[in-house]
Amino acid sequence: MGLEKLLPCTVKLSNILAKSGHDVLCVIDRAVPAELADVFEEHRSFDKAFDSVVSCFKSANLDVPVIYAPVEELTDYADVRSYQKAAAQSLQRAIKAGFQAPLLVVPQSKRFSQAELCTVLGALEELYVPIQLREDVPSKKQRINSLSVLINNPNAEKIMQEALVLESGRLIARDIGGGDPERMAPPLVEAYIKPLFANLSVNVIDDVDVINKEYPLFAAVNRAAHTVERHQGRIIYLEYKPPNPARKTVMLVGKGVTYDTGGADIKAGGVMAGMSRDKCGAAAVAGFMQVVSELKPKDIHVIGALCLVRNSVGEECYVSDELITSRAGVRVRIGNTDAEGRMCMADVLCRMKELAIEGNLPDPHIFTIATLTGHAFISAGEGQSIIVDNSVAAKEDHARKLQAAGQAYGEPFEVSVLRQCDFDFNAAKARGEDVVQANNAPSVKTPRGHQVPAAFMIKATGLDKHGVNSKQPLKYTHLDIAGSAGEYPNMPTAAPIVALVKTHLVD
């Protein structure tokens, strides 16, 4: 699919302030273009709030009105998201005023080296229109007709192209993550994805007999939903093989729970609303693969997997106390059916492990990406993801590298460390079981509630046999994006696509 079809509107570069196909000028930096210096100083002379609120006014020096959405005061603890926020606010005001072709003046920053790219990304994010609105009300498929950007940088064209490629992946992630439980039920995610990735290998696992045999933990979650055809689970593998011999392999597994009722351990007390966002991990994998398909790295092999399932409740739903043998041969005692995310990913994670070993893939690094725990949300706070490296990835200081990229590009991470107590928590409690899937308390009431699931997935998949001192060490990283994926009613953020791209696709 053409890149232009995956953008919120026509986007183009401009090199002049005068009216040239745009109807309003959006400024976010206090260091304004020379043509506006006098009028800005005049406003400051009588309006003490001028540099702290959004303004819209006319200037005798320009043919078009001006919107000023100043970047907030930058403290020692601010990050580049301040620029993204200001860009979004400027376009919000332009849309409210009825403008259709804004020109955004993109500032430079000595402090934040990626401020220009992040400013453009912030603007594009604000222009996103949800897929169901685009489909149901075609007249509202765009918020504006066009966006022009003025970037005073010799690399302006490169910055713009990079932003458009990244946004194409983020749009796909928002479509999947933000679609309601019916529009983005597993079979419809499959239908949405297939036309997008004609240049990638796409393998869909939908045969329930295959799922039951090869992905038994996923199958347990899928059991109740499988009774309803339109909710039946899918495991979708997307693969990109580079034209040159690969020097490394990136393998991503995304949690795609299209709706989470909690299952038999049902989400009661009004906490079920918003659970259609529980597929944002799989959505991020799809978005990442879109960026891969555009960048076409010459020597990086990439495999993504979307674990798409609905955690339904009903007479066929799995229940606590069941003993299920995982793909890796590990006997798992179910402790809580609302811990379905680790269940739906574990066997696919095991398959990635097998591919890495049996295929002798070069320098493999396996990831799980999931809106997995409320504990991650309250630990990191809204807007931040959490990184949990296994011992092999930690030895290469991977988490700090990914965190540095996230900080630079507006997708910040906190780093958590796996400890022996996390594995002890999941240890078998009775004869006949190898590992316990979860306790029966919410993660927010469980000490180390976001580290424990990572330890479970390592144990249930046999990754514990591939540590630092093993014959075949494997890097594994779990990313809990519960805090960063975007809570309803906000739009999905598509985190952590940009940070992953910058860490693992771009040297």
- What CATH number has the domain bearing residue 465? 3.40.630.10
Is residue 165 in some structural domain?
Answer: no
Share of the chain above pLDDT 90, in %: 92
Q: Which amino acid is at 439?
A: N
Residue range 90-119: mean pLDDT, rounded: 97
What local confidence, expressed as pLDDT, does residue 18 receive? 61
Is residue 158 in some structural domain?
Answer: no
Whether residue 252 is found in the same domain as residue 316: yes
Whether residue 304 is found in the same domain as residue 368: yes
Confidence of residue 282 (pLDDT cuts 50, 70, 90): very high
**Cα distances (angstroms) measured from residue 401 to each of 166, 363, 379, 477:** 20, 17, 21, 12
Confidence of residue 2 (pLDDT cuts 50, 70, 90): low
Q: Which of 105, 133, 153 is the last residue of a domain?
A: 153
Q: Say if pTM beats, i.e. exceeds, 0.95.
A: yes
Residue range 472-480: mean pLDDT, rounded: 98
Whether residue 262 is found in the same domain as residue 401: yes
Is residue 16 in some structural domain?
Answer: yes
Residue 174 — left, alpha, or beta (φ > 0 → left; ψ -120 to 50 → alpha)? alpha
DSSP single-letter state for residue 35: G
Is the pLDDT assigned to residue 13 strictly greater than 80? Answer: no
Domain that holds residue 386: 182-505
CA distance 194 to 279: 18
Whether residue 251 is found in the same domain as residue 214: yes
Is residue 175 in some structural domain?
Answer: no
Whether residue 206 is found in the same domain as residue 267: yes
Is residue 358 in some structural domain?
Answer: yes
Q: pLDDT tens digit string along 50-76?
A: 999 999 999 888 889 999 999 999 999
Whether residue 189 is found in the same domain as residue 317: yes
CATH number of residue 66's parent domain:
3.40.220.10
Whether residue 51 is found in the same domain as residue 10: yes
Whether residue 234 is found in the same domain as residue 288: yes
Query: Which stretch of DSSP H or E encloses residue 116?
Result: helix 115-126
Is residue 171 in some structural domain?
Answer: no
Confidence of residue 1 (pLDDT cuts 50, 70, 90): low
Whether residue 147 is found in the same domain as residue 187: no
Is the pLDDT assigned to residue 384 strictly greater than 70? Answer: yes
Q: pLDDT tens digit string along 19-39?
A: 678 999 999 998 888 888 999
Considering 267, 331, 401, 465, which one is annotated as catalytic? 267
Whether residue 54 is found in the same domain as residue 187: no
Please tell me the total count of domains within the chain. 2
Whether residue 114 is found in the same domain as residue 53: yes
**Cα distances (angstroms) measured from residue 489 to each of 144, 178, 427:** 21, 10, 38
Residue range 289-316: mean pLDDT, rounded: 98
Residue range 491-496: mean pLDDT, rounded: 98
What local confidence, expressed as pLDDT, does residue 12 receive? 84
Is residue 456 in some structural domain?
Answer: yes
What local confidence, expressed as pLDDT, does residue 17 receive? 66
Whether residue 52 is found in the same domain as residue 197: no
Q: Which of 132, 153, 174 is the last residue of a domain?
A: 153
The H helix count followed by the E strand count for the chain is 16, 17
Q: Which amino acid is at 7?
A: L
298 in active site: no
Considering 342, 353, 448, 475, which one is annotated as catalytic? 342
Residue range 77-100: mean pLDDT, rounded: 98
Q: Which of 153, 169, 202 is the last residue of a domain?
A: 153
Is the pLDDT assigned to residue 394 strictly greater than 70? Answer: yes
Is residue 167 in some structural domain?
Answer: no
Which residues are 252's β-sheet partners?
A: 304, 367
267 in active site: yes
Instruction: Extract the tokens encoding 267.
Output: 């989400």
CA distance 356 to 429: 32
**Token pair 């919410």 is at which residue?**
442
